[in-house]
Each structure stands twice: as structure tokens, then as C-alpha cells.
Amino acid sequence: MKNYYVYITTNPGRTVLYIGVTNNLRRRLSEHRANRDCIKSFTGRYFCYNLIYYEHFSTIRSAIEREKELKKWSRNKKEILINTLNPQWDIILV
């Protein structure tokens, strides 16, 4: 079985949300951290490297569909989703 993840990261001030999809959360988060201060990448420019939410999928198609769905949501709706599983917005370590 394959593993795919839709994830949400935020910056230290929790003012910016980033939604992405990957097949390796640990590697992808490491890439985000490595891009800090890189103005060419969204996560680097806004320091979005703190994982606060993720969902697991067994197919890339399902993961991409969910990512697209979440990206269309309002900030408020995304916050409600995050709060259902991580009400303190604690950083999730993987």
C-alpha cells in the first residue's frame, strides 16, 4: 500500500497556512525548513514549516483531490478543520 499525505503547515506566528501533498512527510517538511528565507518559494518566504495537520491517503489521486478541495476553503473553514484534531495548533513531529 502506498502512502500519500495532504498536510497543512504554518509559520511561527500562525498567520499563514500552506497546504501541500506528498508521499513522504518527513522529507517534505525537511525541504520546507531548508528553504527558509528563500523568497522564491512560498513556504520559504513565509516560514511555513510547522506541521499542524495532515491526512493520509492510499492513492495519489485521492490526495490531490483533497488538496484541491482544501485550497478552495476559506481561512475560517481551514481553521475549524485544524481545530478538530489539533485545537492548540501544536507542531506535529514526524
Residues 6 and 65: beta-carbon distance below 8 Å: no
At 35-89, the pLDDT tens digits run 877 788 888 888 999 999 999 999 999 999 999 999 999 999 999 999 999 999 9
Widest Cα–Cα separation across the chain: 36
| pTM to 2 decimal places | 0.94
The grid cell for 39 is 523568497
